A and B are shown apart, each in its own frame.
Chain A
Amino acid sequence: MKKWIPLILVVVMAGWFLSGLHQKPETDLHVREFGKLPVLMNGRFQPFDSIARNSLLQIRTKQTVYESEGGKAQTLSAMDWLLELMMKPEAADDLKVFRIDNNEVTELLKVSDNQKYYSFNQLKPQLAEVEKQAERIDKIESANRTVFESQLMKLYEMLNLYQRLGVSLKPPGTDDFAAELDAYQKSIGPGMAAVQARDAGQKFDQDAFNTLIGFMGAYNTVASFALPLTIPPTDPNAPRDAWQNIGTNLMQTARTGEINPATKFYAEMVTAYRSNQPDDFNRAVAGYQTWLGERFTRQVRKASQEYFFSTMEPFYKATVIYVLALVLALCFWFNLTDWLRRSAFYLIILAWFIHTFGLVFRMYLEGRPPVTNLYSSAIFIGWGAVILGMALEKIYRDGIGSVVAASAGFITLIIAHTLALTGDTMEMMRAVLDTNFWLATHVVSVTLGYASTFVAGFLAIIYVLRGLFTTTLTAETAKSLARMVYGIVCFATLFSFVGTVLGGIWADQSWGRFWGWDPKENGALLIVLWNATILHARWGGIVRERGLMNLAIFGNIVTSFSWFGVNMLGIGLHSYGFTDAAFKWLILFISTQLCLILLGLLPQKIWRSFQPRSAA
């Protein structure tokens, strides 16, 4: 029976992952179908669903809205929420979606601080105050802002995003958009005649003039604030710059007299949604899908692929499986039955395949090498570390490789998830980064250098913890751990050196200097120097087994500084990856590593594994 447990576990978890393929058919509004529609935002084509997920993640730090107001509790998906916001903003304004954690901010907003989430209507009375503060804070460099200032600035940006999304599909105040569009089209002919007559100084029809100007005023607001470019050009071969937001498109209609079919479809959707006519809504969505499918096959395909990717949630599911594998592998250390070890190992292989599926799918969607920003660096570091862990497990079969692989996998994916809270993770690359060659060579090697340094550090942590607190670190295990660490440090030196020098060469290609002592470059150099120090110290006999372990743990600190710390300094050409909330986590991480080194320095006679056992 026990022989089969590992396989059964793998089959169950694989089934759970694949269950994402099947979705219950939608009975009421076809929200998911709407969510697949392609739009252009942040410079790339994406489905509405991605805008909904990314925006809600930024505003609420979750991909769902939980609402328990009025007795009945309900959970809205990100797309449910965005649809409400774009089509019925007056109702969406009561949903508690703004997450505010800072007391000083809640005080400024004059709202009670005993809740975590606030609705737009709760914040509305203090909008002017937020704007006033933001205007002042905007002039302060982000590195010099206080916690209050950066939190307020974040809120300001969220409010901005929220309000702009709210006018992205219909003008504010419009109820029956489809009917309004008809009226608008009828007003164009007489209205334009009146405008021309007025400009020529002739008699003109004041009513026709006023009607048209009234429409134009509202559409002008939409044109300047609507965020996604939702309306495709009528000519399918036009460049992507020809996509417009709905406001710009309606303004342009005044000149052409023809309303874009896409605008009509969207207006029908809005009217149907607001008058609660699911059938009409679904018909409009399906009609628009057909219309688009005939003209913009590529964009429709890309959007539905991205939608598929988001619903499969490969990174979330891989995380869960890594955690399960970690628990099993840790159990194996104390209860040495081989089915535990094998279960853990097989599950890691499954999780790694799902991880790889996510990584490769992302690369395909973006058309880029694996690492393009901090978010994807976390995913890739995890991916590389898991491979190293699996290789160690394959060679040594002692559960250590599995623990390393599973922990690295789940920790890095959690870090990636946290980083995703800052916005679209597939954003377009700034001009200097827009080169697949260097992203594929320099960034990948540096990231593999990070991954392997972390793996070495993690192995060393296992050595210290097992040696000090348990009796499981036998002389043989200790020796093989030392070999693993040594081997991985060699590997890390190779990748970090090559990656760092390639980075310098890239800099030489784009900025005209190989080395500028920029913080990010220094961070990478530190990893190289540190790994070289470890190797030379080992060769020179300056450190032995335990010293090697302590140096390797310190490698974790060096790597985390290089990966995150330098971004927090906020200087230099590389500071595009700035992040501030991560600071306290970095400090926490560094302190734990220092504690582990202190533990590693404790005299050997109190290490439980090194007690003279033969005497007993």
Chain B
Amino acid sequence: MPKDLFKLFSSLRLTVACLLMGCILVFWGTLAQVHLGLYKAQNEFFRSVFVYWTPNGSGLHIPIFPGGYLLGTVLLINLFCAHLRYYQPGKRKIGIVLIHFGVVLLLLGQMLTDFLSRESALHLRIGETRNYSEADRAFELAVFDTTDADSDKVVAIPCSLLVRRGEVSDAEMPFTVRVKTFYANSSLVQQSQPGYQPVKPTAGLGADVWWREEPRETEMNRMDMPSALVEVVTPQGSLGTFLVSAWMDRPQTFTFNRRNYALVLRSERYYLPFSLHLIEFRHDKYPGTDIPKNFSSRVRLQNLDNHEDREVLIFMNNPLRYQGETFYQASFDPDDHGSILQVVHNPSWLTPYLSCVLVAAGLLIQFLSHLIPFLKRRLVAK
């Protein structure tokens, strides 16, 4: 039995089947992007074990096709077994070995990237300094203790906790936060409109606000705007319900035990051990046209730990790589006075470079080792 299994997993037929299914999956997943959007299609087809089908109106999830993770894993096992089975030492197969080693590296590297990499954005107006980046589409409920002027104590509650609608408590907070309602995507209006419900918070802002739950965004360029109604409950009783929303920038304040607190639903923050300050942003166009020629941000990088302090120019195709984070010129404010940098943390970013070299070398060796003798025979025969 294990022998049969080994035979199956080392067979070329399995390779061909996986590659074929890979073609179908990629094609299908690409077409699906038209309706699902890039983001959702990616998750359903490529970052998944199975592609599921939900018949209309049912809550069923029927797996109908292997997803990217499954196909990738099977291909890896297949490759490994095939090499065990067919490998012969010697020079003849060196090309093949290089190619496949490169492919393995590429696949593993990309799987690692999927699990380990983190993308966020750093929005800087000219003259502004920041030491954190913000998640593209994840939010958190931040609770600050603002009593001491020089330092704020922050408890950040991620949305994944708010979704459960339970009570959240933390050693740093002398009260609990009870989530009454949570909409992962929502819209707010300031007067009654059909389909909208009044929020009716009992404290803070939003007494005259109506809200509505919206379907989750699937487009790459738009994001969910969550809102929630939360109650602050102290051992002595409730301090009232607050409306917190991604639509509202300003924190809401309340007092408890003679300490001041603030509440705000904001983009999840990732703190950096250094800071960036935007000195200048340039958006050059070709003369007489609107075609962008260049975007660039001149920033000052300051690291208090090692007293590093220098200027860096970030522009298209020229990111800043520093302490495991990479900063790319991604976007800018409509008035050209602010720059948005994409911040990527990806420990396996070098794998494609290596794998490209390995596979290219392998293919060349393999190719030339057949072509040259063939040409020799052929041209001598003439």
Interface residues of A (CB under 8 A from B): 40-44, 143, 228-229, 240-241, 243, 245, 395, 397, 427-428, 430-432, 434-435, 438, 487, 490-491, 493-494, 497-498, 501-502, 504-506, 508-519, 522-523, 525-526, 529-530, 532-533, 536-537, 539-540, 542, 558, 561, 566, 569-572
Question: Are B294 and A434 touching (Cβ within 8 A)?
Answer: yes
From A44, A526, A569, B23 is in contact (CB under 8 Å) with A526
Q: How far is the CA of A542 from the CA of B12 in the complex (A)?
A: 9
Contacts of A43 in B (CB 8 A): 285-289, 291, 293
Partner of B363 from the list A493, A542, A569 (CB cut-off 8 Å) is A493
Per-residue CB contact flags for chain B residues 333-363 toward chain A (1 = under 8 Å, else 0) read 0000000001110100100110110011001
Q: Are B287 and A511 in contact, CB atoms less than 8 angstroms apart? A: no
Q: B311-330: which residues lie under 8 A (CB-CB) from chain A? A: 316-319, 326, 328, 330
Q: Which residues of B contact A523 (CB under 8 A)?
A: 30
Would B356 and A505 count as touching, CB distance under 8 A?
Answer: yes
Nearest Cβ on chain B to A174's Cβ, whole angstroms: 23
Query: How many whole Å from A270's CB to the nearest CB in chain B?
Result: 21
Q: A501-B355, A539-B12 are in contact. Are A494 and B288 (CB under 8 A)?
A: no
Asked if A518 and B38 sit within 8 Å, CB to CB, the answer is yes
Q: What CA separation (Å) do A491 and B371 show in the bound complex?
A: 10
B16 touches A536 (CB 8 A): yes
B295 interface residue per 8 A CB criterion? yes
- Interface residue count for B (Cβ, 8 Å)? 67
Complex contact B119–A512 (CB within 8 A): yes
A523 to B119, CA, bound (A): 24
- B-chain residues with CB within 8 Å of residue A506 when the two chains form the complex: 317
Among A431, A532, A558, which residue has its beta carbon within 8 angstroms of that of B295? Answer: A431
Interchain residue pairs with CB less than 8 A apart (11): A41-B288, A428-B286, A432-B316, A434-B294, A487-B374, A494-B364, A508-B349, A516-B42, A526-B27, A536-B19, A569-B34
Task: List the A side residues contacting B41 at CB < 8 Å.
Answer: 517
Query: Is the CB–CB distance between A519 and B317 below 8 Å?
Result: no
B contact residues around A529 at 8 Å (CB): 19, 22-23, 26
When distances are taken between beta carbons in the complex, the residues of chain B under 8 Å from A561 are 27
A509-B317 contact given A491-B367, A494-B364, A518-B38, CB 8 Å threshold: yes
Contact A517 B29 (CB under 8 A): yes
A571 near B293: Cβ-Cβ < 8 Å: no
**B275 adjacent to chain A (CB < 8 Å):** no
Which residues B292-315 have CB closer than 8 A to chain A?
292-295
Do residues A512 and B367 form an inter-chain contact, with CB atoms below 8 A?
Answer: no
Contact check, A540 vs B29: say whether CB atoms are below 8 A apart: no
Is the pair B23, A501 in contact by a Cβ cutoff of 8 Å? no
Q: Does B83 contact A (CB under 8 A)?
A: no
Cβ of B289 and Cβ of A431 under 8 Å apart? Answer: no
Contact A430 B291 (CB under 8 A): yes
Chain B residues whose C-beta falls within 8 Å of the C-beta of A504 in the assembled complex: 352
Residue B20 lies at the interface, judged by CB distance under 8 Å to chain A: yes
| B113 CB-CB contact with A under 8 Å | yes
CB–CB A501/B342 < 8 A: no
- Nearest B residue to A435, CB-CB: B317
User: In this complex, which of B23, B31, B45, B360 has the most chain A Cβ atoms within 10 angstroms of its Cβ?
Assistant: B23
Distance (whole angstroms) from the CB of A571 to the closest CB of chain B:
5
Interface presence of B33 (CB below 8 A): yes
Closest to B349 in A: A508
Chain B residue with the shortest CB-CB distance to A494? B363
Give Cα A530 to B41, complex, Å.
21
Report the minimum CB–CB distance from A26 to chain B (whole Å).
Answer: 30
Given contacts A491-B367, A517-B42, contact A572 B110 (CB under 8 A): no
How many angstroms from the CA of A536 to the CA of B106 in the assembled complex? 19
Let me know if B375 is at the binding interface, CB within 8 A: yes
Contacts of A537 in B (CB 8 A): 16
**B29 near A509: Cβ-Cβ < 8 Å:** no
Q: Report the separation of the CA atoms of residues A523 and B352 in the bound assembly, to the nearest whole angstrom.
A: 18
B13 within 8 A of A: yes
B-chain residues with CB within 8 Å of residue A539 when the two chains form the complex:
12
Give the distance in Å from the alpha carbon of A435 to the alpha carbon of B343 in the complex: 22
**What is the distance, in angstroms, from B261's C-beta to the closest C-beta of chain A?**
36
Contact A533 B20 (CB under 8 A): yes
Given known contacts A431-B294, A511-B328, A502 and B356 CB-to-CB distance under 8 angstroms: yes
A494 engages B16 (CB within 8 Å): no
- Docked CA distance A245–B375 (Å): 60
Determine if B91 is an interface residue (Cβ-Cβ < 8 Å). no
Q: Which residue of chain B has its CB nearest to the CB of A527?
A: B23
* Interface check B378, CB cutoff 8 A: yes
Chain A residues, CB < 8 A from B328:
510-512
Asked, given contacts A536-B19, A540-B13, whether A243 binds B33 with beta carbons under 8 Å apart, the answer is no
Residue in B15, B110, B317 whose Cβ sees the most chain A Cβ within 10 Å: B317
Closest to A143 in B: B34
A566 touches B30 (CB 8 A): yes
CA distance A555 to B217 in the complex (A): 36
Contact at A490–B295, with CB atoms within 8 Å?
A: no
Q: How far is the CA of A571 from the CA of B29 in the complex (A)?
A: 13
A169 to chain B, nearest CB (A): 15
| Residues of B contacting A498 in the complex (Cβ-Cβ under 8 angstroms) | 356, 359-360, 363
B364, A572: Cβ atoms closer than 8 Å? no
Residues in B whose Cβ lies below 8 Å from that of A569 = 30-31, 33-34
Q: Which residues of A contact B294 (CB under 8 A)?
A: 431, 434
Q: How far is the CB of B361 from chain A (nearest CB, A)?
A: 10
Q: Determine the distance from Cα of A428 to Cα of B294 in the docked complex, in whole angstroms.
A: 12
CA distance A42 to B290 in the complex (A): 9
- Measured CB to CB, the closest approach of chain B to A80, in angstroms, equals 25
Give Cα A535 to B330, complex, Å: 39
Q: How far is the CB of A427 from chain B (nearest CB, A)?
A: 7
- Let me know if A229 and B29 touch, CB within 8 A: no
Given the interface pairs A434-B293, A509-B319, A572-B38, the reply to whether A536 lies near B12 with Cβ below 8 Å is yes
In the complex, whether B46 has a CB less than 8 A from a CB of chain A is yes
Given A43-B293, A435-B317, 7 further pairs, Cβ under 8 A: A40-B288, A42-B288, A511-B342, A512-B330, A512-B344, A513-B117, A517-B46
Q: Which residues of A contact B42 (CB under 8 A)?
A: 516-517
CB contacts (< 8 Å) of B20 on chain A: these are 533
A302 to B275, CA, bound (A): 47
Among A395, A487, A515, contact of B110 (Cβ-Cβ < 8 Å): A515
User: Are B16's CB and A533's CB within 8 A?
Assistant: yes
> In the complex the two chains form, is A240's CB within 8 Å of B287's CB?
yes
Segment 32-68 of B: residues with Cβ below 8 Å from A: 33-34, 37-38, 41-42, 45-46
A530 to B45, CA, bound (A): 18
**Complex formed: what's the CA distance from A532 to B12 in Å?**
12
Chain A hits for B349, CB < 8 A = 508, 514
Output the least CB separation between A65 and chain B (Å): 26
Complex: how many Å from CA A510 to CA B331?
A: 12
A44 shortest CB reach to chain B, Å: 8
The residue of chain B having its C-beta at the shortest distance from the C-beta of A483 within the complex is B374
Instruction: Please determine whether B356 and A501 come into contact, CB atoms closer than 8 angstroms.
Output: yes
Contacts of A487 in B (CB 8 A): 370-371, 374
A434 contact set on B, CB distance < 8 A: 293-294, 316-317
The contact of A494 among B291, B317, B343, B367, by CB within 8 Å, is B367
| A501 and B359 within 8 A (CB) | yes
Residues in A whose Cβ lies below 8 Å from that of B363: 490, 493-494, 497-498
* Chain B residues in 8 Å Cβ range of A522: 26-27, 29-30
Q: Nearest residue in A to B22 (C-beta to C-beta)? A: A529
User: Which B residues, 94 to 131, have Cβ-Cβ distances below 8 Å to chain A?
Assistant: 106, 110, 113, 117, 119
Contact of A514 with B30 at beta-carbon distance under 8 Å, contacts A501-B355, A540-B15 already known:
no
Tell me which residues across on chain A come within 8 A of B318, comparing CB atoms: 509
By a CB distance below 8 angstroms, the chain A residues around B37 are 571
Give Cα A558–Cα B288 distance, bound, in whole angstroms: 39
Residues in chain A near residue B22, CB distance under 8 A: 529
Which B residues lie within 8 Å of A438 (CB)? Answer: 317
B13 touching A542, Cβ below 8 Å: yes
> Are B23 and A508 touching (Cβ within 8 A)?
no
The residue in B22, B294, B371 that gathers the most chain A C-beta atoms within 10 A of its C-beta is B22
- Kindly name the residue among B20, B30, B106, B346 whose own CB sees the greatest number of chain A CB atoms within 10 A: B30
Residues of B within 8 A of A490 (CB): 363, 366-367, 370
